[in-house]
A = this chain, B = another copy of it.
Amino acid sequence: MSTTTTTPDRPTAPEYTPTDRTVPTRARQRASYDRALVHAILDEGYVCHLGFIRDGAPVVLPTLYGRVGERLYVHGSTGSRPLRMAGSRAAGAGSGEAEAPGLPVCLTVTHVDGLVLARSAFHHSLNYRSVVVHGTARQVTDPEELRTALDALVDHVVPGRSADSRPANAKELAATAVLRLDLDEVSAKARDAGPNDDAEDLALPHWAGVVPVAPRTGAPVPSADLDPSITLPAYLTAL
């Protein structure tokens, strides 16, 4: 669970400003720039797909993320490729510069809500909600921001968990790299409807409708070395 606090230097207009990159070429009616909707979609997830360019080619990697106000944080060890690239760019920027040039990225979060089965193969579809963020990711160097980001990452996976685990120590903080991506150039897209069959297909003998889909968490499996006197915390039974 992310906080809803916005960082002081960010705007809080009810909508993000559309740009050439965030106006889709098709299904425009499914696009939204509503800030609250974007936040809600982001807060429901914890895995994003992060795209960047390496050696001139696109790369897409799944990774954990967390939201704090109008900033997203992406987690990885300092050895991971996107973080190394952002870091090496920063290192090459010269010691006199205030900010590293950063890594151009596209960060996408998708929730599948339903399988849309139409009478015609052509009109099969999905109900879904997604957010696409374009921008430049920069490595977090401020220790306080790094701690805030790590808490957000852990709390996105399980709300309330960061308060019930040992915080990162200095050695771990040094081994952890986190990228920050501002929520500026952002759009959400969603479909939430039944099948859209052509009128002449309605009499066909095929079942049509929506099969709901959602992630389900199963019963937590304690670690083999867990002290048996430690019972399941409330934030896990609530899942």
Contact = CB atoms under 8 A, between A and B. Distances in A.
A67 interface: no
A80 B98 CA distance: 39
A81 interface: yes
A91 interface: no
Interface in A192-239: 194-195, 197, 201-227, 230-233, 236, 239
Interface residues of A, number: 98
Interface string A102-119: 001111101010010111
A interface, over-half SS: mixed
B49 A215 contact: no
A215 B213 contact: yes
A64 B53 CA distance: 23
Nearest to A110: B62
Interface of A: 21, 24-26, 46-47, 49-55, 57-62, 64, 77, 79-81, 84, 104-108, 110, 112, 115, 117-122, 124, 126, 128, 130, 132, 134, 150-151, 153-154, 157-158, 161-162, 164-169, 172, 175-176, 194-195, 197, 201-227, 230-233, 236, 239
